[in-house]
Amino acid sequence: MTTSVRPPTKLSGQTREEDVMAIETPRHQPTLDEVAARAGVSRSAASRVINNAPHVSRAKREAVQRAVLDLGYVPNPTARALATNQVGAVVLAVSGDNPAMFAEPFFGQVIVGVNAVLEQTDLELMLVLATSSRGQAKLEQVLRNRQADGVMLMSLHGDDPLAGLADRSHLPVVFGGRPLTFEPKYYVDADNRGGARLATEHLIDTGRTRIATITGSLDEGAGAARYRGYQEALAIAGLGPERMEPGDFTEESGERAMTRLLERCPDLDSVFIASDTMAVGALRVLRDHGRTVPGDVAVVGFNDLAGARHTDPPLTTVHQPVEALGQEMGRMLLALMAGNDPSPLILPTRLVKRQSA
């Protein structure tokens, strides 16, 4: 550390004693910790404001900016360069190789929810379909090359390799729905099991006793949980046997499964269907076979998407807050990226009664 020496200043040919040698004491440079203390925020919050990170509250940002001005804080250029080493994008990866998936109302609402949160920041949203080997390779390249600052994963099947890809990236990862084979630390899910139980109990309460189900994909967490809810309601009521046909959440699979159920169980009087999209296909088959709804067969779906109000008849269904699911995934990922440790979240479901049951 050096000191600066000011030369003597001569006045009227004489040298003043106090000006012979004025030695300036080096000025103390404020630290980031002092800025944080002055602003009343955490050190990480102060760092995010100074480095112009997008996901900081207005109140904290203003408090840190005031503290920086008051203290005369100057950021360390090297530390600042490291702190701002972000690409400004996050990935939403869906385990599916059919581009039509993003045309489904469910995924559309999830994307709307995620985007509603991200548009308050400077982050861009990247969408990746990643079930095929080509899709997985694309995601792996994005993560390996650090082309994203965080990852959201949805619709994982069984021992899906996407979870391993994301884990090896060492990026913040949030799961939309709980995978079937393990429970991640950070996830947002709906109460699929409880909602399916509500749906089946409603059919029981209306006097139905020969209750079938069309499941979603049973190697996905949501599909398996909804099937368990149906089984639990039947067991509690002492009803059986099960009348089950698998689907995959698509309208076409609802048609196929309903056709098989009518062939195997022509006496069924009701059906719980694990998605509204499959229910649309099932209603068409019932109509084609001359079965009235709800007179001959009562029908309950799941999701409460906008189309459920416009089926013939309007569909009784289980409401899950799909757009809120996307919003909470986005918020949880931002919290992780900010260095916080959020808790997993399960959103409530409820029965919406209409004319189909």
Mean pLDDT, the chain cut into blocks of 10 residues (357 residues total): 41 42 55 88 77 73 89 66 65 74 78 92 84 77 86 84 83 92 92 98 97 95 96 96 94 96 97 96 97 98 94 97 96 92 96 98
Domain pair 89-190+323-347 / 192-319, same fold: yes
Cβ of 100: how many Cβ atoms within 10 Å? 9
Domain boundaries, the chain: 25-83, 89-190+323-347, 192-319
pTM, rounded to two decimals = 0.75
**CA–CA distance, 28 with 45 (Å, rounded to integer):** 23
**Fold entry, domain 192-319:** Rossmann fold (3.40.50)
SS3 115: helix
Domain range 89-190+323-347, its CATH number among 3.90.1150.10, 3.30.460.10, 3.40.50.2300, 3.40.30.10: 3.40.50.2300
Q: Which of these, 221, 220, 266, 265, lies nearest to 244 by C-alpha position? A: 265
Residue 18, pLDDT score: 42
- Give CA–CA dist 86/296, Å, rounded: 59
Amino acid, res. 26: P
Tell me which fold the domain 25-83 belongs to.
Answer: 434 Repressor (Amino-terminal Domain) (1.10.260)
